[in-house]
Amino acid sequence: MKILVTGSNGQLGSELRLYSGDFPQHNFFFTDIEELDICDKKAVYDFVALNNIELIINCAAYNAVDKAETDSTAAFELNAVAVEALCHAAKANNSFVVHISTDFVFDGQKKTPYTETDTPGPLSIYAASKFKGEEIVLNSKIPSYIIRTSWLYSSFGNNFVKTIMRLAKEKPELRVVNDQIGSPSYARDLAEAILNMISYYTLPEKPELYHYSNEGEISWFDFAKNIVEFSALNTRVLPISALEFNAAAKRPAYSVMDKKKIKDSFGLTIPYWEDSLKKCIELLK
């Protein structure tokens, strides 16, 4: 297939670029804002048509969660309007779409893992913009996978793991929220899963929603403690509440996602978060 990857300089896009060499049967077009402005509907339509794109993997996103509270126009532009442009081009060219979404679409009130049939309840501007993007893909009725992931990190880009490692080298003590529970996702694992999903199985005729993260669940505090420990650093990590942290955007208190559907549908074996975190940290040391 001829595959367009948007947001290719980000965490997931960079991991897809790294793994693409293992899939020589596909012809990849890696783009970011410099090569293709996906908010420009005509530019997207022309690019997809000119290059006969058969699959679009949309890794582009506005993901500055707190900044989105005062920058809602930009958040919805990239997380919703651009998604509409991609779906329009895909429909016109009979292309398939893989769209990446987030666990933040849920309100965090459940005490058991969220399934694909649970009703979203976004708590922030960022979450609302990502949920709007999901609705656009679902309503387009084009063949597509919407993959919700959570707490994404990588050796590429900016993320929680790299921030904690940097701060742990600079400060004797870190305070991290301990009352928000979720599952970290190593972008390299997700990239491998996506490429296997699109290469091995017949594509669906309509949108299908899936959840993907590494196995296990943990608080941000315990995640930070493990990052420091696996990095062989000595900084103390202390727990604080989300109320004390006082972030601009509200996050779900519990956003662990059930991954049974994606594992059963594609025969995926998903690594546990500890194992993947150790692999990423080894690359960052």
Q: Which residues are tagged catalytic? A: 126
Tokens of 253: 């208190």
Taking alpha carbons only, the member of 105, 6, 14 closest to residue 47 is 6
Tokens of 89: 């081009």
Question: Measured in Å, how far apart are the chain's first and last C-alpha atoms?
Answer: 36
Query: Phi then psi for 274, rounded to 5 degrees?
Result: -60, -45
Query: Phi then psi for 114, rounded to 5 degrees?
Result: -75, 135
Taking alpha carbons only, the member of 218, 230, 228, 233 closest to residue 273 is 218
Helix (H) or strand (E) holding 100: strand 96-102
CA dihedral (9, 11, 12, 17) positive or negative: positive
Q: Identify any residues that bridge with 257 across adjacent strands, giving them in sequence order.
A: 114
Outline where DSSP puts E strands in 36-95.
55-58
CA dihedral (271, 148, 85, 94) positive or negative: positive
| 239 contacts 97 by C-beta, under 8 angstroms | no
Tokens 């990052």 -> residue? 227
The three-class DSSP label of residue 235 is coil
Helix (H) or strand (E) holding 185: strand 185-186
